[in-house]
Amino acid sequence: MWPSSQRSLPWRRSYQPGVPSEVEIPDVPVTRLLDDAAERHPRRTALVFFGRRIDYHELRDAADRFADGLHRLGVQPGDRVALILPNCPQLVIAFFGVLRRGAIAVQHNPLYTEEEMLHQLADCDARVAVVLDRSYATVRAVRRGLRLEHIVVTSLVDYLPPFRRAVLRLPLVQMQRRRAAITAVVPDDAGVVPFRDLQKAPQRQVRQLPVDPSRDLAAIQYTGGTEGRPKGAMLTHRNLIANACQQHAWDMGGQEGQDVTLGVLPLFHSFGLMSCLIAPAMRAGAVVLLPRFDRDRVLRAIRKYRPTIFPGVPTLYEQVLDSPRFRASDLRSLRVYICGAMALGQRTIDRLEELGARGLIQCYGLTEASPAVTGNPLGGSARNLTVGLPLPMTDAVIVDVEEPTRDLPPGEPGELVVRGPQVFAGYWNAPLATAQTLSKGWLRTGDIAVMDEDGFITILERQRDMIKVSGFSVFPSEVEKVLRRHPAVYDCAVVGGPDARRGERVIAHVVEHPAYPFSADELRRHCERYLSHYKVPAEFRPRTDLPRNILGKVIRRKLRDESVNSPA
């Protein structure tokens, strides 16, 4: 027996006026978003890539050509096609082209190591991979033993504006070096197909192959892997369409064909896929694609293209604000900052508010929910130290960690469990993990949270990150918050380590401020002023940096592994 649907839903009374509690979700494939945008606004810009503009008519045509090319390669409905690309037009074209064939898009980080790439390609059993030339060597190294029949290779140079391509062809030494930095020579191996070969004119009319949006998969998105080996979250067409509808219902200030989204988050991550591709396509918005984060390049893009929506993470915003080239006027065009993936701190909130930024909302999601689950309301009522309210058609409850059938009252911490049309269909090739995570439509998030009487949710910790010291629970985030008050602490992360007497001990990994070196005794005395004795770190380990993933999240697993290998 899981949480009853006959409960009060306090968050609905906290919604911004006009935001509905229910939204209509069309029963269509994800490609319908592209088709509708191309029909209504064929000449409106869909993508901007280093100055090159691609309108919706051109994008749909390119996706259809790619779908026909996949047909010539033998791709059938239900086949998995691996996309190993950074943010570039080819990724968008391939994504929609794969879905047009009724196949499943499986995205991978192009910077993966051979081991990481091998695990995911073997797990999804892809028949075709679409690869950036600079990532081809990694795929080539692991290809033996995989079912990969074709590897479609492309280059960032292929979709640069003509004048930029012409400059790169100049025989000057600096141009040759610049070209070598963004391209790579690909050997003429068996099964290698140039991307441009799949862009030839179709010999037949390209139609969307039939899919059941509620049952058929659009994508397999691998979880971030900050904890253990990544698992493939199966997302249906309806999951993705529903989450885009929920986000648009939340943002009542958006107008069709008017918004410009800054696409610096990687599209191969679920946050970037939804916020920088699927949701913009639903309203025929433009996306400015940047292959990687570079704060000066981000600033130039903001000044040139005047984006209205900036999906990002706190560290990304901070780096932009820290640029010596930053000016407060750079923020004038932006009306919404969608902040997710990691906690938004008071310092970042204050800095943006002091600069006149508006529309900053801390949100929460996870790959298994397509990904958005909650958001702070727009319109000035955000409480950005929380992750906000459940989105329309999303139910949420805090349950007892040990007895998940028991609902907890407002203010009492427990595991956050959610339900809604965006919740995934399960993990690919992992029925046991699916059964442990999904029950009767409810998704166990694994996050420890608390909900207040108005429905606002605060994430306290990942359940697996909690430290048990002599039976007492320690939230690493609480200890980290105290540590960051000390001027010597530039950055920190707290994890548990094995302890024969107490079960676990608290270990603080600390990056010291260059102008204020610390001593362990000094930090211990600081913590003792604000924390109960069992929460005070037993050990302070100095570091030059912390291991982070592509979005800047600390990879606590690596820190815990260090602790296990050096027990007390």
For position 3, what pLDDT does the model report? 57
For position 140, what pLDDT does the model report? 96
Q: Same fold for the domain at 54-210 and the one at 466-565?
A: no
Q: Of the candidates 384, 382, 444, which has an alpha carbon nearest to the alpha carbon of residue 416?
A: 444
pTM of the model: 0.86
For position 226, what pLDDT does the model report? 46
Residue pair 340/271 in contact by the 8 Å Cβ criterion:
yes
- Count Cβ atoms below 10 Å from residue 334 Cβ, excluding itself: 20
Assign residue 261 a region: left if phi > 0, alpha if psi is -120 to 50, beta otherwise? beta
Where do the structural domains in the chain lie, given as residue ranges?
54-210, 466-565
Q: Of the candidates 426, 419, 414, which has an alpha carbon nearest to the alpha carbon of residue 460?
A: 414
For residue 513 the two structure tokens come to 């401020």
Long-range contacts of 403-410 (CB under 8 A, 24+ apart): 404/2, 404/444, 405/1, 405/2, 405/3, 407/3, 407/4, 407/7, 410/10, 410/450, 410/451, 410/452, 410/453
Strand pairing class (472-474; 467-469): antiparallel
For position 170, what pLDDT does the model report? 56
Name 48's bridge partners: 53, 288
For residue 506 the two structure tokens come to 């608290």
For position 228, what pLDDT does the model report? 56
466-565 domain in CATH 2.40.50.140? no
Residue pair 522/490 in contact by the 8 Å Cβ criterion:
no
CA angle, 486 as apex, 346 and 498 as ends, to 5°? 100
Residues in the chain where the model's pLDDT stays below 70: 1-6, 163, 165-181, 224-228, 471, 564-568
CATH of domain 54-210: 3.40.50.980
Q: How far apart are CA 124 and CA 543, in angstroms?
A: 37
